[in-house]
Amino acid sequence: MIRNRAFWRKIIVYIIYCISCGLLQVTLPDTLSVLGGRPDLTLILAVLAGYMFGAADGFAIGLAAGLMRDLLAGRTLGLGMLLLMYAGLGASVLLRRFFRRNMLFGVIQVVIFTVIYTVMIVIITYLIPLQSETVYSFARLAEQTLTRLPGQIIINAIAAVPLILLLAFLGPYRRSKRGDDPDDGIVGDSLWRVA
């Protein structure tokens, strides 16, 4: 019964976070932008879920947050899901094995994946031009996109802090009821989730 309650808590909390982050991201006014960048909440959520709660959570939340992204603002279905799924999975591996579940490194993860995500978008835009006769040079695309990157990094790092606290204290797992996934190779420290 307790296990069931924990399971449903996880599902409900993640659904609330995915919907809230997706909707907030597409409705935030420009007044909250820093150097032209507005917080990429779905990306941050996927990265933090992977970093804080492991590969399975990163994978699932990446897909769910990506679906919200595709649904609300995507040209096509699937691209957001694919990118955020890998962001969630990547975040569950990168840094986590070395630095354990440190909040500061959660923010650093968000910064790293903001850069990786931006680079991936530039590559995709270069490889798949929307109008075949209009091909932009890679350098031009990179220049256009990277001018916004500093602002995007700053605002994402800022937005990551409250989201880390929310996931840690009002997250999918009770702090006293969370076990480690032995497959992740990390057991015992239980900073985010206590067995």
Partner 1 sequence: MQKPGRNRIFVIAFTTVLLLAVIVLSALPGSPLHYLTTPISVVISPIEKAFTRGIDEVSGFFQSLTDGQRIRRENEALKLENARLRNQISQLEDAGHQYNSLKNAFKLKDLYDQYDIVGARVLTREIGLWFDVFRIDVGTSDGFAVSGTESFAVVDAESNLIGRVASTDLLTGKVLPLLHEGFSVSARINRPDGALMRVRGSIDLKEEGYCLADQITVGARLNPGDLIVTSGLGGLFPAGIPIGTVVSVQETDTQTQRQATIEPFADFNQLTTVFVMKGIEP
| Alpha carbons 158 and 113: distance in angstroms, whole number | 14
Q: What is the dihedral of CA 70, 76, 78, 82, to 10 degrees?
A: -80
When the beta carbons of 73 and 187 are compared against partner 1, the nearer one is: 73
Instruction: Please report whether residue 154 would count as binding partner 1 according to CB under 8 A.
Output: no
Number of residues that bind partner 1 (CB under 8 A): 45
Instruction: Please report whether residue 27 would count as binding partner 1 according to CB under 8 A.
Output: yes
Instruction: Please report whether residue 65 would count as binding partner 1 according to CB under 8 A.
Output: no
| Alpha carbons 41 and 163: distance in angstroms, whole number | 9
Instruction: Please report whether residue 85 would count as binding partner 1 according to CB under 8 A.
Output: yes
| Alpha carbons 4 and 8: distance in angstroms, whole number | 6
SS3 122: helix
Site string for partner 1, 175-194 (x = CB under 8 A): --------x-----------
Instruction: Please report whether residue 168 would count as binding partner 1 according to CB under 8 A.
Output: no
Q: Which residues pair with 37 in a beta bridge?
A: 34
Q: Which residues pair with 34 in a beta bridge?
A: 37
The stretch among 5-13, 24-32, 161-169, 171-179 that binds partner 1 (CB under 8 A) is 24-32
Instruction: Please report whether residue 59 would count as binding partner 1 according to CB under 8 A.
Output: yes
Angle at 125 between CA 143 and CA 67, to 5 degrees: 120
Q: How far is the CB of 176 from partner 1 (least distance, A)?
A: 26
- Residue of 78, 150, 162, 179 that binds partner 1 (CB under 8 A): 78
Phi, psi angle pair for 149, to nearest 5°: -60, -45
Work out the number of other CB atoms within 10 angstroms of the CB of residue 102.
17
User: Which residues form the interface with partner 1 (CB under 8 A)?
Assistant: 19, 23-31, 38, 40, 55, 59, 63, 67, 69-82, 85, 89, 121-122, 124-125, 130-131, 134, 136, 140-141, 144-145, 183
